[in-house]
């Protein structure tokens, strides 16, 4: 991914705000910047790949406005995804006006004017996503104005982690990794904004993400089964199996592989050195140690004991 960084520390005090306006326009999208405070300071790091743009910025109090004139100069249709990392933002688009607190996410329509104000110093993560990437998964977004995803919403935590991973330069993501993370992010945003099971069912990938998210949360539960997943997601057991087929796996194979990988991580974790191998296996849902040892050796080419010794 192509990465750039801007900071007002590199220019004189009188040029800081005009420099910031240019940085935001290049890193994110065409906007106006208004009402700077004296001694304005800000920095922004951006990443871009194949029409996707991500940015992480820290700035003093100011406002950002996107007007009809800015939209007219843009040939691409997109959504602006905004994660409030620190501080608070005041967002308005159409008839919607609300505060965005730390940990919350807003989805703004890039083809409609909006205003975002920062009453105090803020840190934000931004993602510019092509409209079609979200519209195919969440067609209900076309009908409304800006959407707010509070931190307690299902899938909000996973969406935050994806946004932070995509926006920070130190992640060093390649094109394929960034593309995959963005696809996952779109699925998570669709799940977080879906109001009912019918909305979630409009795109199989959204449904798949819900199935996988539930399965990961209950990976250590020995009772995890297609029936348990189907009951939670309000779909049939057959649909559960069909969703796993979309990633080229059966439920049973996915379950064993992910439990083995979890055990592998714990076996090389220094804080787990006091835990017996059997304790780790049981913790991740294995009930038969003989089966666990055989499966571990088949997947990783060594026994759990050998893996722990080599990790040391």
Domain ranges of the chain: 2-193, 208-311
- Tokens at 269, concatenated: 């974790």
- pLDDT tens for the chain, 312 residues long, are 677 888 888 887 778 888 888 888 888 888 888 766 667 889 999 888 777 899 999 999 999 999 999 888 877 789 999 999 999 999 999 888 999 999 999 999 999 999 999 999 999 999 999 998 888 778 778 776 788 999 888 789 999 999 999 988 776 777 778 888 898 899 899 888 875 544 545 567 677 878 888 898 899 999 999 999 999 888 899 999 999 998 899 999 999 999 999 999 889 888 888 899 999 999 999 999 999 999 999 999 999 999 998 866
Q: Is 172 left (phi over 0), alpha (psi -120 to 50) or beta?
A: left
Report whether CATH 3.10.450.50 matches the domain 2-193.
no
Determine how many CB atoms are found less than 10 A away from the CB of residue 28: 22
pTM of the model: 0.67
Strand order in the sheet with 78-86: 2-7, 42-49, 52-59, 122-130, 78-86, 105-109, 147-149
Residue with tokens 């220094």: 270
- Please state, in angstroms and rounded to a whole number, the distance separating the CA atoms of residues 64 and 243: 41
Q: What is the pLDDT of residue 35?
A: 65
Strand order in the sheet with 62-66: 32-34, 62-66, 114-118, 89-93, 96-100
Positive or negative, the Cα torsion across 271, 276, 281, 285? negative
Contact 138, 81 (CB under 8 A): no
Q: What is the pLDDT of residue 12?
A: 79
Positive or negative, the Cα torsion across 80, 85, 86, 90? positive
Contact 40, 21 (CB under 8 A): no
Q: What is the pLDDT of residue 152?
A: 87
Contact 284, 220 (CB under 8 A): yes
Q: What number of CA atoms fall less than 13 Å from residue 264's CA on the CB side?
A: 16
How many residues make up the chain in this entry? 312
Q: What is the pLDDT of residue 107?
A: 95
Q: What is the pLDDT of residue 85?
A: 95
Contact 208, 202 (CB under 8 A): no
Q: What is the pLDDT of residue 207?
A: 79
Contact 21, 59 (CB under 8 A): no
pLDDT in tens, 231-289: 988 889 999 999 999 889 999 999 999 999 999 988 988 888 889 999 999 999 999 99
Q: Strands 2-7 and 42-49: what pairing?
A: antiparallel
- Tokens at 32, concatenated: 């106006």
Q: What is the pLDDT of residue 195?
A: 59
- Tokens at 263, concatenated: 């055990």
Core vs surface per residue 153-187: b (16+ CB within 10 A) or e: eebbebbbebbebbbbeebebeeeebeebbebbbb
Closest C-alpha to 127, from 98, 107, 147? 107
Q: What is the pLDDT of residue 217?
A: 87
- Please state, in angstroms and rounded to a whole number, the distance separating the CA atoms of residues 101 and 192: 17
For domain 208-311, give the fold: Arc Repressor Mutant, subunit A (1.10.10)
């Amino acid at each position: 991914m192509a990465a750039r960084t801007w900071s007002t520390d590199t220019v004189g005090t009188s040029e800081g705000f005009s420099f910031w306006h240019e940085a935001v326009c290049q890193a994110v999208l065409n906007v106006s910047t208004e009402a700077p405070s004296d001694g304005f300071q800000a920095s922004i790091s951006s990443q871009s790949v194949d029409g996707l743009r991500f940015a992480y910025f820290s700035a003093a109090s100011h406002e950002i406005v996107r007007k009809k004139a800015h939209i007219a100069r843009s040939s691409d249709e997109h959504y602006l995804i905004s994660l409030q990392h620190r501080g608070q933002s005041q967002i308005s688009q159409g008839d919607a006006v609300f505060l965005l607190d730390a940990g919350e996410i807003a989805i703004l329509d890039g083809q409609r004017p909006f205003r975002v104000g920062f009453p105090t110093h803020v840190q934000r993560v931004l993602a510019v996503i092509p409209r079609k990437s979200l519209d195919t998964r969440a067609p209900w977004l076309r009908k409304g104005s800006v959407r707010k995803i509070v931190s307690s919403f299902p899938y909000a935590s996973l969406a935050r982690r994806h946004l932070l991973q995509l926006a920070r330069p130190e992640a060093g993501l390649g094109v394929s990794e960034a593309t995959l993370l963005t696809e996952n992010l779109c699925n998570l945003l669709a799940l977080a904004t879906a109001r009912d099971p019918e909305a979630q069912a409009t795109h199989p990938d959204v449904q798949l993400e819900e199935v996988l998210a539930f399965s990961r949360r209950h990976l250590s539960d020995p009772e995890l089964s297609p029936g348990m997943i189907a009951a939670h997601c309000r779909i049939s057991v057959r649909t559960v199996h069909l969703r796993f087929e979309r990633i080229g796996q059966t439920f049973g194979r996915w379950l064993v592989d992910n439990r083995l990988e979890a055990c592998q991580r714990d076996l090389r974790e220094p804080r787990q050195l006091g835990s017996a191998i059997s304790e780790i296996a049981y913790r991740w849902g294995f009930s038969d140690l003989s089966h666990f040892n055989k499966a571990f050796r088949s997947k990783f080419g060594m026994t759990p004991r050998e893996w722990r010794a080599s990790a040391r």
